[in-house]
Amino acid sequence: MSSSCVSHHHQAVRPRHGGRLPLPSPRSAAASSFAPPAPRRRRAARAAAMSAEAAPGVAPAEEAGQRRAAVLAEMVEEAAVWCAVHGLVVGDRADPRSGTVPGVGLVHAPFSLLPARFPASFWKQACELAPIFNELVDRVSLDGEFLQAALSRTKQVDEFTARLLEIHEKMKAINKKEDIRLGLHRSDYMLDSETNSLLQIELNTISSSFPGLGSLVSELHRTLLNHYGKVLGLDSKRIPRNWAATQFAEALGKAWAEYNNDSAVVLMVVQPEERNMYDQYWLVSHLKESYGVTTIRKTLAQVEAEGQVLTDGTLVIDGRAVAVVYFRAGYAPADYPSEAEWRARLLMEQSSAIKCPSISYHLVGTKKIQQELAKPNVLERFLDNKEDIAKLRKSFAGLWSLDNEEIVKSAIEKPDLFVLKPQREGGGNNIYGHDLRDMLIKLQKEQGESLAAYILMQRIFPKASLTPLVRGGDCFEDLTISELGIYGAYLRNKDKVILNNQSGYLMRTKVSSSNEGGVAAGFAVLDSILLTDE
């Protein structure tokens, strides 16, 4: 029989017990990339799915499957319409202007048709960790000696980290104090099936994306389950509310208020081409509507051309004082194609504007610092509460520097149990499998400082489930795994903590055969969670 969701099977992964929707039996399909089916095949699948009437002589089980397929097809269309009218959209890569001209070339963001099941106990654990990680980032950021020492070898072989450290060193030299500190973080986790534990993938301290669109996906799923939940046996009340967009806007608004200049603006630093601009515009909209705060968007190059710092430290862009600098760019080497961008970054850091993140908060989010914090007795340097320390440690996956010869030997022998990570943000940078083995052997032969450019991490093995994914209006089923990101907002002014919250979540789901996980990078779809008691 045909299904409204064409099935792609990449590898033999056993779907987890109690996966999403008990879909019609998938027909066999050759392995293919994470992409929709060909138009002719898609139309045939959809036409068959939309016919809820069973043909004469069709068995009851098959008839039920056809009805379910018809429901799915109906859901895909309703979901696509919902995305369009609620702003769950991204720029269309097929339109060259979609990343620069708002309102041109829009498509719905890629999404899962149904929420991912997630045990309530692990959800509670992840939420409880957010304020502890927020506090940890702040404490580590104040220890300039620790940051410089921990990254001293990395900067020898990683020019990008070296340039960030150079700015940090200049701020240390003039004893620059950030009295008002704002962090908008996201800590990413996966459920490891081998150990049945929640393990941290990474901690993002700069440009934590998708608070806007991520909030909308849980609303989309709630709407779909309100309509189809009885047929599917799923309860919309089990989807947790996701206020990430409004809570990030609240943190930005409160930081703006602490700066205490009613005519000042929030500066959002953006990439020259940004197909994910609508995720950002949700924050702009909430800031204006709820706090009366104006946001201006500028690239690093524009900041360099139009910005100046007055003698009192005020950052002025286009004649307007800036209260808060919110970075949605500046986290990758590609964001600094010339010296102008680096001058802009230094200019903003020298100013009295509140930086989200400051250079020190940015450095705390590097992979190397994550690995350093996982070492014995290092957390104790920054946190006093033993219970909090234990909670953090429980979430740490195995993390090692390449100085650890035993671990490197193990990784060469069993590369599938490890991930090799460079000091980079965004999807598409990690090294796996045979490539990991080859890279380690190469680095060993070189025996230079280049070992410090990477860390080794324990590979996490989440269970896979069969999931209907929607991209470009097409639905297709595949075995998938999911990654939960928990947002955190932190604001303090000197000794006073104004905000320290868990601020919503981001669920990303990807085909289980894909090693990378970024939605913006094209590897994953947006998702939400359905809490279970298991």
In a domain, 115, yes or no: yes
Average model confidence (pLDDT) across the chain: 88
In a domain, 189, yes or no: yes
pLDDT at 8: 55
Domain that holds residue 450: 398-459
Looking at residue 235, which CATH number applies to its domain? 3.40.50.1760
**Residue 145 annotated as lining a ligand binding site:** no
**Residue 75 annotated as lining a ligand binding site:** no
* pLDDT of residue 40 exceeding 80: no
Shared domain for 232 and 307, answered yes or no, is yes
In a domain, 222, yes or no: yes
Percent of the chain with pLDDT over 90: 76
Among the listed ranges 36-40, 171-175, 271-275, which one has the minimum average pLDDT value? 36-40
Residues with active-site annotation: 186, 202, 204, 209, 367, 421, 425-426, 508
Shared domain for 421 and 524, answered yes or no, is no
In a domain, 171, yes or no: yes
Mean pLDDT for 124-133 is 98
CB 478 within 8 A of CB 12: no
Banded model confidence at residue 19, pLDDT cuts 50, 70, 90: low
Mean pLDDT for 108-135 is 98
- Residue 163: partners with Cβ closer than 8 Å, 6 or more residues away: 336, 342
Answer with the residue of higher pLDDT: 144 or 428.
Answer: 144
Shared domain for 232 and 316, answered yes or no, is yes
- The C-alpha atoms of residue 389 and residue 380 are separated, in whole angstroms, by 7
In a domain, 8, yes or no: no
Shared domain for 186 and 236, answered yes or no, is yes
pLDDT at 57: 57
pLDDT at 520: 61
Percent of the chain with pLDDT over 70: 86
Mean pLDDT for 57-80 is 83
pLDDT at 34: 34
313-327 confidence digits (pLDDT tens) = 999 999 999 999 999
Shared domain for 384 and 409, answered yes or no, is no
| Residues forming a β-bridge with 500 | 490
* pLDDT of residue 41 exceeding 60: no
**Residue 328 annotated as lining a ligand binding site:** yes
* pLDDT of residue 523 exceeding 80: no
Q: What is the dihedral of CA 302, 306, 309, 311, to 10 degrees?
A: 170
In a domain, 387, yes or no: yes
| Domain final residue, candidates 459, 477, 505 | 459
Q: Which of 189, 211, 172, 208 is nearest to 126 (CA)?
A: 189
* pLDDT of residue 475 exceeding 50: yes
**Residue 423 annotated as lining a ligand binding site:** yes
Please give the distance of CA 196 from its chain centroid, rounded to a whole number: 22
Shared domain for 494 and 410, answered yes or no, is no
- The C-alpha atoms of residue 281 and residue 112 are separated, in whole angstroms, by 22
pLDDT at 10: 40
Shared domain for 437 and 469, answered yes or no, is no
**Residue 206 annotated as lining a ligand binding site:** yes
**Residue 519 annotated as lining a ligand binding site:** yes
Banded model confidence at residue 446, pLDDT cuts 50, 70, 90: confident
pLDDT at 396: 95
Answer with the residue of higher pLDDT: 22 or 13.
Answer: 22
Banded model confidence at residue 52, pLDDT cuts 50, 70, 90: very low
Q: Give the pairing type, strands 116-119 and 265-269.
A: unpaired
Shared domain for 404 and 260, answered yes or no, is no
Shared domain for 187 and 320, answered yes or no, is yes
Mean pLDDT for 484-488 is 98
Banded model confidence at residue 67, pLDDT cuts 50, 70, 90: confident
Shared domain for 409 and 523, answered yes or no, is no
| Length of the chain as a residue count | 534
517: left (phi over 0), alpha (psi -120 to 50) or beta: alpha
In a domain, 23, yes or no: no
**How many separate domains does the chain show?**
2
Q: Which of 457, 468, 502, 461 is nearest to 483 (CA)?
A: 461
Looking at residue 424, which CATH number applies to its domain? 3.30.1490.50
Q: Three-class SS string for 64-103? A: HHHHHHHHHHHHHHHHHHHHHHHCCEEECCCCCCCCCCCC
Please provide residue 469's backbone torsions phi and psi, each rounded to the nearest 5 degrees. Answer: -110, 145
Q: Look at the alpha carbons of 170, 173, 177, 182 in this order and tell me if their dihedral is positive or negative.
A: positive
Shared domain for 489 and 342, answered yes or no, is yes
Count CA atoms closer than 13 A to 259's CA, side-chain side. Answer: 28
**Residue 208 annotated as lining a ligand binding site:** yes
Q: Three-class SS string for 455-518? A: EEEECCCCCEEEEEEEECCEEEEEEEEEEEEEEEEEEEECCEEEEEEEEEEEEEEEECCCCCCC
Shared domain for 138 and 172, answered yes or no, is yes
* pLDDT of residue 16 exceeding 70: no
Give per-residue burial for 334-347: e unless 16+ CB within 10 Å, then b: ebbeeebbbbbbbb
Banded model confidence at residue 449, pLDDT cuts 50, 70, 90: confident
